[in-house]
Amino acid sequence: MNVIQCHDVTKSYGQNRALDHLSFEIGENKITGLIGRNGAGKTTLLKMIAGYIKPTQGELQVFTRKPFNNLDVSAKTIFIDDNMTFPDSFRLTDILSEVAPFYAAWNSSLADALFNYFSFDPNQAHSNMSKGSKSTFNSIIGIATRCPLTIFDEPTTGMDSAVRKDFYKALLKDYLEHPRTILLSSHLLSELEEILEDILLIDNGSKCLHLPIMELRELAVGIRGNEQALLTFVEGKELIYKEEFAKGSLYVVIKKESIEQEFKHVRQNGLEVLPISPDDLCVYLTGKTGGGIDDVFKRS
């Protein structure tokens, strides 16, 4: 069953298209990472799925219903980001007890255990917390609600590295016991890729890739070596990325399938094959220009 069905969805803000004819489906109980550069449309998409905003065009269904203003979808969905606001007079414990009645699967013992583990002060006000503490507290709500559709928009903003690891671990552990559909957005793919099953990469409001993360890892390789030899080797093939890293030496990123035939000969030509991290690959795939920041500093 597909929890999310997005068909040809466009969202415009005036002249600006935040989402541009986007289509994809997300199956039940998968953990999907929504990856994209700044301004790619990640937050717009997530807010639309959570029912906060309406698509301008196209058909979006969550649990087979249009999510906007839909109570049924709202009850099954939680959207966590760092803009969550709670009444100023509420202490942290008040928030936890007030969230409970809204979500059928809320688990207060899990919430309390995480709350104590991260050493929160029950009497503190939400508005006085640091950025990282706020993100951590909001994440506890995200995990403990156990919503059939759990959405985190940049959940680790401001968290220190130890807390980040704990958060992803806690999320995965609870998911293993209580499977649910989880959507996580981030521009730091490297920190969450291990817990993902699928990845949805968007660029300028359009879908760039949607595939199992294991396939993404196998998608491309980097090849480095003498410029002439390398150019001959990749002649006529589509390059994902190309960079001159020393005089006469070149580094290219290329789809594995396009060089499958010749792959054996790479090393005989004195070329080096390098693994490419999914994180780097996503950056190259959504690059605005063929080169990189180095080109900005290059003297003509």
Partner 1 sequence: MILNTDSMKPIYVQIAEWLEVEILNSNMKEDERIYSQYQLADMFTVNPATAAKGLNLLADENIVYKKRGLGMFVSPNAKQFILTKRRKQILEQMIKELVIEANRLDVSESELIMMIHNFKQDYKEE
162 binds partner 1 (CB under 8 A): no
35 binds partner 1 (CB under 8 A): no
State which of residues 212, 287, 291, 292 lies at the interface with partner 1 (CB under 8 A).
212
Pick between residue 39 and residue 270 the one whose CB is nearest to partner 1: 270
Task: Give the shortest CB-261-to-partner 1 separation in angstroms.
Answer: 20
CA dist., res. 131 & res. 82, Å (int): 8
With contacts defined by CB under 8 A, name the span among 6-14, 76-84, 169-177, 231-239 that binds partner 1: 169-177
Pick between residue 125 and residue 229 the one whose CB is nearest to partner 1: 229
Task: Give the shortest CB-195-to-partner 1 separation in angstroms.
Answer: 5
176 binds partner 1 (CB under 8 A): yes
275 burial class (0-12, 13-18, 19+ CB within 10 angstroms)? exposed
Pick between residue 21 and residue 217 the one whose CB is nearest to partner 1: 217
With contacts defined by CB under 8 A, name the span among 20-28, 37-45, 209-217, 248-256 that binds partner 1: 209-217
31 binds partner 1 (CB under 8 A): yes
State which of residues 75, 84, 100, 195 lies at the interface with partner 1 (CB under 8 A).
195
Task: Give the shortest CB-149-to-partner 1 separation in angstroms.
Answer: 18
101 binds partner 1 (CB under 8 A): no
Residues 264-293 interacting with partner 1 (rule: CB under 8 A): 267, 275
Site residues (vs partner 1, CB under 8 A): 31, 168-169, 172-173, 176, 190, 194-197, 212-214, 217-218, 267, 275
